[in-house]
Chain A
């Protein structure tokens, strides 16, 4: 099992809809979880991080963490065409220093 798994997509949603991006991880001791957005040809930029079970909201974005299920998700409300990008899930393991990244999910929001 890969350490961090994401559905590569593409995930296609209409403008104004909710986009749901999912990520599972294998190391049960993982401590911190990050969602990065990467536009084509650009570098990743942090959207949110979460380290406690439950939901964390920031504007149109909500991160959800369930450590028992080893599952983290990102919800994007009122999706806009400008949200079209690849979303990378990253996990900091208990004993690690650097982040372990998933392959990313490509989101396409159509107007």
Chain B
């Protein structure tokens, strides 16, 4: 199993550009999550999904969109990138909620200039 994979690893965007961060998991997990982590800060939840076709907002959803057409994929879309979106983005998945481990991808380091 590859676990949770994310692409790209690094990206530099200009203000106003758009991009999609890709996330794929091969563990047949129902739950998937997108977090952002700013320097010296913990993880903040952007969006999450409890299954294909179902998504919901987290703590900091503004400026982002998601979709979940398959169990495996959970892409995160940035529209009109802003410097405040400079961060490291982590995708995670879990079998269910409760006392279940969330497995994290390697992260995407995004800089908006």
Binding site for B on A (CB under 8 A): 4, 8, 31-32, 34, 42-46, 49, 51, 88, 90, 92, 97-104
Alpha-carbon distance A43/B105, docked complex (angstroms)? 7
- Least CB distance from B31 to A in Å reads 7
Contact of B43 among A42, A44, A92, A97 (CB under 8 A): A44
Check if B45 is an interface residue, CB within 8 A of chain A.
yes
Cα of A103 to Cα of B39 in the assembled complex, Å? 10
Contact A98–B48 (Cβ < 8 Å): yes
Contact B98–A92 (Cβ < 8 Å): yes
Report B's interface with A, CB cutoff 8 A: 31, 33, 35, 40-45, 48, 50, 56, 58, 90, 97-99, 101-102, 104-107
Distance in Å: Cβ of A62 to nearest Cβ of chain B: 17
Chain B residue, CB-CB nearest to A43: B104
Interface centre among A43, A44, A49, A102 (most CB of B within 10 A): A43
Measured in the bound complex, the distance between the Cα atoms of B37 and A44 in whole Å is: 11
The 5 closest A-B pairs by CB, nearest first: A101-B42, A43-B104, A101-B43, A103-B42, A32-B99
- A49's closest neighbor in chain B, by CB? B99
Contact of B31 among A45, A97, A102 (CB under 8 A): A97
Q: Is the CB of A8 within 8 A of B43?
A: no
Give the residue of B42, B45, B90, B101 whose beta carbon is less than 8 angstroms from that of A46. Answer: B101
Distance of A30 from chain B, by nearest CB (Å): 12
The answer to whether A44 and B98 touch across the interface, beta carbons within 8 angstroms, is: no
B41 contact set on A, CB distance < 8 A:
103
- Chain A residues within 8 Å of B50, by CB: 97
B42 touches A32 (CB 8 A): no
Which residues of B are found within 8 Å of A4, using beta-carbon distances?
42
Tell me the minimal C-beta distance from B49 to chain A in angstroms: 10
Closest residue on chain B to residue A88 by CB atoms: B42
- B97 and A44 form a contact (CB under 8 A): no
Report chain B residues within 8 Å CB of A31: 98-99
What residues of B have a CB within 8 angstroms of the CB of A51 in the complex?
99
**Interchain CA distance A45-B102 in the complex, whole Å:** 8
Looking at A8, A32, A46, A97, the one whose CB has the most chain B CB atoms below 10 A away is: A97
